[in-house]
Amino acid sequence: MMNIFEHSHPVKISNIRLVIGALLVLSGGLLFLDRYLKTGWLSLAVLPGVALFVYLWGIRLRHANLILAGGLLGGIGAGAAAAFGPGVQPLSQPTQFGFLAIYCGIGWGIVVVTQAAMTLKTAWWGMIPGGILFGLGYCLLFTPLRLVDFVLCLALGTGVPLLAWGLISRLLGLVIPGCLLITIGLGIYMAWQTPNGDNPLVQTGIMLVWFALGWVLITLSGRIIFHRFIWWPLIPGGILAVAGWGLYIGGDPGSALGFISNTGSIGLMIFGLYLLLMRKGIHH
C-alpha cells in the first residue's frame, strides 16, 4: 500500500498549535453568533470552512495528511449541509444518509486527485472507500432501494476503483477482483431486477453469462498491463458462458436466439477494443 505521508513537508508543532487555536476560536465564535442570529447556516458552514482551510494549507505545505483531513472533513461538512441545512424541505433518513455518503465519497475522490496532481506517490487505495461511499449514496438517493440496487451500486463502487487502481499500478491482482465484481453486480441486477419476471433458470443463465464477461475483461486488461493477452481466464469464462446459455435455453427456448445475439454483440464490442489496442501499437 502506498504511503500517503511521502513527499510531505514537516510542520512545526508551534505552527500547528497556532493554526488549530485560531480555527477553534473562529469556529466557536461563529457557533456562538449563530445562537443569536438563528440562521442555521453559520453552524453548518463551520465544518466546510475549516475543511477548506486545512485542505488549502495542506496543498501549500504539500502535506499529505492535511490534504486528507481537509478532503474528508469537507465531504462530511458538505453532506451535512445538504442533508440538514435550513431551507431544505424535510428529507427522509435514507436521503439524508445518501447525501452524507455521496459527499464523503467525493471528498475521498478529491484527496486522491490532489495527491495524484501533486506527488509521484499517490494514495490510489483511497478510491475504494470513496467508491463504496459514492455507490451507497447514489443508491440511497436515486434508486427504489431494492436489494438488487444495493448489490449493483456497491459492486460497481468497489469494482471500478479496484479495476482503475490495478490498471494504473499495473497489478493484475487488483484487476481480477475489479472485473469480477463489476460483472457479478451487473449480472445479478440484470437477472433479478424484475422480481416477477423470468423463471429461475433464465435468471441464473443471465447472471452466469455476465459473470463470464468478467473473465473476458481480465484477458483484455492483461493486454493493457503486460502488453500481451493472458488466455487462462477464457477457460472459466467459456465454461460459465456455455453453462449460462444452456440454462437460458432450457428456461426460455423461444428467446434463446435473441439472448445469444445480445451477448454476441457484447463480445464483438470487446473484440473491437482488442483491435483498437492493436491499432495503437501495444506490443511486447
* Inside any domain, residue 106: yes
Q: The domain containing residue 195 runs over which residues? A: 174-284
* Inside any domain, residue 29: no
Do residue 51 and residue 115 come from a single domain? yes
Query: Cβ of 12: how many Cβ atoms within 10 Å?
Result: 8
Are 76 and 103 in contact, with CB atoms under 8 Å apart? yes
Please give the tally of structural domains in the chain.
2
Look up the pTM and report it. 0.81
Report which DSSP code applies to 281.
T
Do residue 215 and residue 258 come from a single domain? yes
Q: pLDDT tens, position by position, for the chain (284 residues)?
A: 444 444 445 555 556 666 666 666 666 666 556 566 666 666 677 778 888 888 988 888 888 888 998 999 999 989 988 888 766 667 888 999 999 999 999 999 999 999 888 875 678 999 999 999 999 999 999 999 999 999 999 999 999 999 999 998 899 999 999 999 999 999 999 999 876 556 888 888 889 999 999 998 898 888 778 877 788 998 898 888 888 888 888 777 777 667 667 676 766 776 676 666 555 544 43
* Inside any domain, residue 262: yes
CA–CA gap between residue 178 and residue 193 (Å, rounded): 22
Report which DSSP code applies to 90.
P
Work out the end-to-end distance of the chain between its first and last CA atoms, rounded to an integer number of angstroms.
Answer: 28
Burial status of residue 21 (CB atoms within 10 A of its CB: 0-12, 13-18, 19 or more): exposed
Do residue 181 and residue 94 come from a single domain? no
Do residue 65 and residue 199 come from a single domain? no
CA–CA gap between residue 222 and residue 284 (Å, rounded): 12
Do residue 4 and residue 122 come from a single domain? yes
Do residue 183 and residue 83 come from a single domain? no
Domain end point (choices 127, 142, 157): 142
